[in-house]
Amino acid sequence: MRYLPLTPDDRRDMLGVIGVKSVDELFIDVPVSARRAGLVDLPLHAGELEVERELGALAAQNRAAGQGPFFCGAGAYRHHVPASVDHIIQRSEFLTSYTPYQPEIAQGTLQYLFEFQTQVAALTGMEVANASMYDGSTGMTEAVMMAARITRRKKAIVSGGVHPHYTATLKTSAHVAGIAVADQPANLDAEEAVIQSIDPDTACVVVQTPNVFGTATDVSKIAEAAQAAGALLIVVVTETVSLGLLKSPGAMGADIVVCEGQSIGNGLNFGGPYVGLFATREKYMRQMPGRLCGETVDAEGRRGFVLTLSTREQHIRRDKATSNICTNSGLCALAFTIHMSLLGETGLRKLAQINHAKARQLAAVLSKVPGVEVLTKRYFNEFAVRLPAPAAAIVETLTGRGVIAGVPFSRLAPKAGMDDILLVAATETVTTADIEAFATALNGVLA
C-alpha cells in the first residue's frame, strides 16, 4: 500500500519494543462483541491507475460547464480563475498545514488571513471581517444568531429576495435557537416590503442584493428603518464580483455583511467547498463568530500575526461560545486572497463591468425571443426571465440541444408558484457565440 510506510519488519520490531506479540493486543479494550476478525465488505486496495480510471469514468458522465454555452448562477458563479491561484494553493506549506495554533511556524497562513480580512472589510465597506465561514448560507445563519445576541431579541425578518436555500438553512438553526423567522414571499422587488414588518421585537432584517432574481437594490432606507427600531441590517451578497461595480453594503448602512466568496478564486465544485465572507462594525467585533487573525509583535518586537479573541470560541468557552464553529474555509480563503491580489481594485472593477455588460447583452438578445420576458429591471450579471411554459421542462429540452440555460426558480422553491421563472447569469466566461446559441435554441424550443 503506497501510502503506508511501515514494512512487516518494522511492525514486528516495533511490537517488540512495545512488548506485545501482535497488534491485536493493542486493541484489547475493544469489547469482544465489536471486534471484527475479517475485512469489511468493500473492494480491496487499488493502484493510482485503477482509481483514476474509476473516478475518471464518473467524471466523464458529467457535463462540465466549460463544454458549451452555460448560464447557471443562483448563488454559484463560473468565473475564470488565474492559473497561478491553483498553483499556489497546492503548495505543500499551504495545502498540508493545520490551523495556525503555533504562530511562530504558521506566519504564512496567518499573514494571508490578515490580508484576507483586510480585503473583505474593504470590499464590503465594513470595519472588521473574520477569517471566513464555511459558506454564504451558513454565514447568514451565524449573522442572524449574532444579531439576536446583540439585540437580545428573537425575531428575524427575511426578505423574499433572499436565496431560498439560505432561508431554509437559517430556519434549521433558528428553530432550535428559539428565533422566529418571518420570511416574506418570493418577489422580484421584495426588499422595500420588509420595512412595514419591522417591529420592536425585530432583531434583524435580512436582505440580499443583488437578490436571488438578480435585482440590485439600494438598501439605505431599510438600514435606517431597521436601526431606528433598534434592529440590525444584515446584507447578503451571493455574487461577490458585484461589489466591484455596486455600492458597498457598508456604504448603505449595513450592520453585518455576509457574502458567498466562491466567485473569487474558487471553482463551481458542484456546490462546495466554498468560502463565506463575514464582516461587521467594530463595535460588534467581540460578538463575531469564527476565527479572527490579529496583528501583534514577537518577543523581539517584530510584527507578527496570531489567532485572537479566542475567548469567544468553543475551545475556550465551550457551552458559552458565540458559535460552535471550529474550522474556517482556509484554503478557499487563500484562493480568494490570491485572486483578489491579482485583480486589485483596477481588475475587480473591470471584471465587474464586463460581467454587467455580458448580462445586458444576453438580456437584449433573449428579450427578442418571442414569448420571453426579461423581468429584472436593475441587475448585475444575473436576471429572471418569464417563459411561456414551465422553466424546468424548457431547461431540460435546451440541455438536449447543448445549452445549459440557467436555474429554474422552481428548483429552489418548488412551492412558490413561480414555475415559469428562469434565472440566467452571464459572466466574463460567456461568449457572444454562447449567447447566440442560447437564443437560437430557445427560439427553436418555443417556436
Partner 1 sequence: MTMQSVGRPTTPNAVSSRPETLTGARGLLQDEPLIFELGGWDKTGVDLPEPELDALDLTGLLREEPINLPGLSEPEAMRHYVRLSQKNHAIDLAIYPLGSCTMKHNPRLNEKMARLPGFSDIHPLQPQSTVKGAIALMDQLAHWLKTLTGMPAVALTPKAGAHGELCGLLAIRAAHEARGDARKKVLAPKSAHGTNPATAAFVGYEVEEIDQTADGRVDLADLARKLGPDVAAIMVTNPNTCGLFERDIVEIARLTHEAGAYFYCDGANFNAIVGRVRPADLGVDAMHINLHKTFSTPHGGGGPGAGPVVFSEALAPHAPGPWIVQTPDGPRLDEDPVGDVGRMSAFHGQMGMYVRALSYMLSHGADGLRQVAEDAVLNANYIKARLGDLMTPAFEGPCMHEALFDDRWLAGTGITTLDFAKAMIDEGFHPMTMYFPLVVHGAMLIEPTETESRAELDRFIEALRLLAQAARAGDAERFQGAPFHAPLRRLDETLAARKPRLKWSPLNGDEAKKTLAAE
Look at the block and give the residue holding cell 461560545.
321
- Nearest-angstrom CA–CA distance, 295 and 169: 34
Q: How far is the CB of 367 from partner 1 (least distance, A)?
A: 13
Q: How far is the CB of 418 from partner 1 (least distance, A)?
A: 14
CB of 365 to partner 1, least distance (A): 15
CA distances from 400 to 114, 133, 443 (A): 47, 37, 14
Cβ closer to partner 1: 158 or 306? 306
* CA-to-CA separations, 44 to 41, 48, 405, in angstroms, rounded: 9, 13, 42
Smallest separation, CB 345 to partner 1 (Å): 4
DSSP 158-199: E-TTS-HHHHHHHHHHHHHHT-EEEEPPP-TT-GGGHHHH--
Closer Cβ to partner 1, 169 or 184, answer by number: 169
Between residues 203 and 338, which has the closer beta carbon with respect to partner 1?
A: 338
Residue 54 vs 200, nearer CB to partner 1: 54
Cβ atoms within 10 Å of 181's Cβ, excluding its own: 17
Residues 26, 148: Cα–Cα separation, whole Å? 49
CA dihedral for 268, 324, 328, 259, sign (positive or negative): positive
Residue 70 is given by DSSP the state B
Q: Are 140 and 112 in contact (CB under 8 A)?
A: no
Nearer to partner 1, 41 or 200 (CB): 41
Residue closer to partner 1, measured from CB, 92 or 200: 92
Joined together, the cell numbers standing for residue 177 give 435557537
Q: How far is the CB of 26 from partner 1 (least distance, A)?
A: 5
Q: How far is the CB of 196 from partner 1 (least distance, A)?
A: 22
Using CB atoms within 10 Å of the CB of residue 297, give its burial: 0 to 12 exposed, 13 to 18 middle, 19+ buried: exposed
Closest CA relative to residue 421, chosen from 187, 78, 194, 190: 187
Angstrom distance (rounded) from CA 170 to CA 174: 6
Closest distance between partner 1 and the C-beta of residue 335, in Å? 10
The CB-of-16 to partner 1 minimum distance in angstroms stands at 10
Alpha-carbon distance of 180 to 191, in angstroms, equals 19
Q: Which is nearer to partner 1, 41 or 228 (CB)?
A: 41
By beta-carbon proximity to partner 1, the closer residue of 96 and 228 is 96
